[in-house]
Structure 1
Amino acid sequence: MQKVCWVHQSGLIPYQAAWEWQKALAEQVAQGTLPPLLLLLEHPHTYTIGRRGSADHILWDEETLTRRQIAVHWVDRGGDVTYHGPGQLVGYPIFPLAELGFAAQDGSEQPANLNVLSFVEKLEQILVNTLRQFGIPAASRAGLRGVWVPVWRENEFSQAQDWRKIASIGVKLTAQGVTLHGFALNLDPQMEYWEGIIPCGIHGCRMTSVAEMLQPPPQKEQITQALLGEFERTFQLVMVEKIQLPFDTSPKSHYTIG
């Protein structure tokens, strides 16, 4: 029998609030009182720096960050620095990896031995498959995380393939074996905000979006439904829309499970 996965679409949510939601929900998923969950949302303008990141990879000074109202958070996911903002589709899968078949090759289901890399690769493939449904030739790249799109550039002497990143991925596994953080897919964000960082800590990395690749771009709802279909097929889940989260999500709450 397929497991149920709750899907909660939240709109524009401050990064810190969403982070607290994830941690509160992950505790309940680990205890088995909630099924796997997928949060889909957007953030106000935010830079997050992962465990391998450096403050030097934020290029704009404090005055510019303040003027542009960009929040900066150091976070416990993998990866380096990335941007979140309106116009992205951000997904936070809160998944118990052992229950979904991500045991280590020796069969161990201890959190330290769970196959997180395989989970990340499946997230990449979900995004690749979703984008390809709309005619975007998305791909993974060996040695690099995230989802990329090949772009051909030409001059009078030669033609060469360039790559632009369209989705970023970074994941953390809790001590109980539940995933936090996830992915950010660029639908139609304000691309100039990428100029304030070295994306993913990769010098020369160029970003793109669905809106840059397709005109007119598909509606967000179309992409979301395609994405959910890929989650169902990849993880053998039944995706069920959940309007309310099981705790108070008001700004003044402490995100207490009800």
Structure 2
Amino acid sequence: MNRQLPLEVYWLGRVDYDLAWTLQNQIADEIRRGLRPATLLLLEHSHVFTIGRRGSRAHILWDDVECTRRQVILRDVDRGGDVTYHGPGQLVGYPILPLAQTGWEGDRLPQTDFIGYLRRLEDTLIALLDTYGVNAFRREGLTGVWVNLSLPGGSSLPAKIASIGVKVDRFGISRHGFALNITPNMEYWNGIIPCGLEGVRMTSLAELIAPPPTMIEAAAAIGPIFARIFNFEPSLLIDGQPLLQSLTVIHGS
């Protein structure tokens, strides 16, 4: 990644999952053609279970009736990883970045570059949580961000607070990204085996600090951290509604 390139950071608010996916693809194409700088979309979704390329529907524990009752949609997606949940109160970040060298085109980004990208996403989330006094960490062999929950008797349990799943296309441009639990309804995690990990404990900022930040506060805080860790120019948070409106007009929805 070149140093101090421009970065646009958008706050989109609550966005339909399919619309956000279409927007990612549109922006990635514009970046490929040199029409837009690297972009970070920050938003939240309505209830959705997404199944990654290595995922299994067997890891969705609620049947269709229960998903319908709880207004959860299911989507098969082309990111890495297994099953995860998105919903209100969860800060979702979609970095759309040109990770490869200019002019590069291939089947896969070099593995070292890909792993390095995942580690920097984890570093961004860990640094954000540190600003709220939360000591977060990564675990060997498990992509994502974790914290220790205190248990009676003085022991602790590692719990996952942020999930990461990404795609890098043949032009070296990233899609998908991270999801940080801030104030979601944690009951929805009971509907899946998160990331295909049996017995994993999920948690949120609301379970760790009081009061937790609002979604817009967390979005405003993570932008500068992301820019610093990825060596972009600092960027103010941009209202993403005009961006969404332009997409809506184009697709006539």
TM-score, scaled to structure 1: 0.89
Q: Tell me, yes or no, if the aligned pair for 1:111 and 1:177 is still in contact at 8 Å.
A: no
Identity of aligned residues (%): 46
Tell me what 1:73 maps to.
75
How far apart are 1:216 and its partner, in Å? 1.6
Q: Tell me, yes or no, if the aligned pair for 2:10 and 2:42 is still in contact at 8 Å.
A: yes
Give the distance between the partners of 1:220 and 1:8, measured in 2 at CA. Answer: 13
* Structure in which a larger fraction of residues adopt helix: 2
Tell me what 2:143 maps to.
145
Distance 1:254 1:203, change over 3 A: same
Choose 63-72 or 233-242, whichever is displaced more.
Answer: 233-242
Give the distance between the partners of 2:137 and 2:33, measured in 1 at CA. Answer: 36
Tell me what 1:54 maps to.
56
Aligned length: 245
Tell me what 1:104 maps to.
none
Q: Tell me, yes or no, if the aligned pair for 1:58 and 1:198 is still in contact at 8 Å.
A: yes
What pairs with 1:15-164 in structure 2 (closer than 5 Å)?
Answer: 15-99=17-101, 110=106, 112-114=108-110, 115-155=113-153, 159-164=154-159
Choose 172-181 or 235-244, whichever is displaced more.
Answer: 235-244
How far apart are 1:142 and its partner, in Å? 0.7
Distance 1:136 1:173, change over 3 A: same
How far apart are 1:253 and its partner, in Å? 4.1
Choose 78-87 or 228-237, whichever is displaced more.
Answer: 228-237
Give the distance between the partners of 1:26 and 1:140, measured in 2 at CA. Answer: 28
TM-score, scaled to structure 2: 0.90
Task: List runs of 5+ in structure 2 lacking aligned partners.
Answer: none
How far apart are 1:109 and its partner, in Å? 7.5
Distance 1:230 1:67, change over 3 A: same
SS of alignment partner, residue 3 of structure 1 = coil
Q: Cα deviation per residue 1:211-253 (whole Å; 9 max; x = unaligned)?
A: 1100121333332232112112111212244433287222x74
Give the distance between the partners of 1:220 and 1:76, measured in 2 at CA. Answer: 26
Tell me what 2:251 maps to.
254
How far apart are 1:181 and its partner, in Å? 0.1
Q: Tell me, yes or no, if the aligned pair for 2:99 and 2:174 is still in contact at 8 Å.
A: yes
Q: Tell me, yes or no, if the aligned pair for 1:8 and 1:39 is still in contact at 8 Å.
A: yes
How far apart are 1:147 and its partner, in Å? 0.5
Distance 1:175 1:247, change over 3 A: farther
Give the distance between the partners of 1:30 and 1:146, measured in 2 at CA. Answer: 28
Q: Tell me, yes or no, if the aligned pair for 2:139 and 2:146 is still in contact at 8 Å.
A: yes
Give the distance between the partners of 1:120 and 1:203, measured in 2 at CA. Answer: 22
How far apart are 1:54 and its partner, in Å? 0.4
Q: Tell me, yes or no, if the aligned pair for 1:5 and 1:240 is still in contact at 8 Å.
A: no
Structure 1 residue corresponding to 2:189, chosen from 186, 194, 202 = 194
Q: Tell me, yes or no, if the aligned pair for 1:165 and 1:205 is still in contact at 8 Å.
A: yes
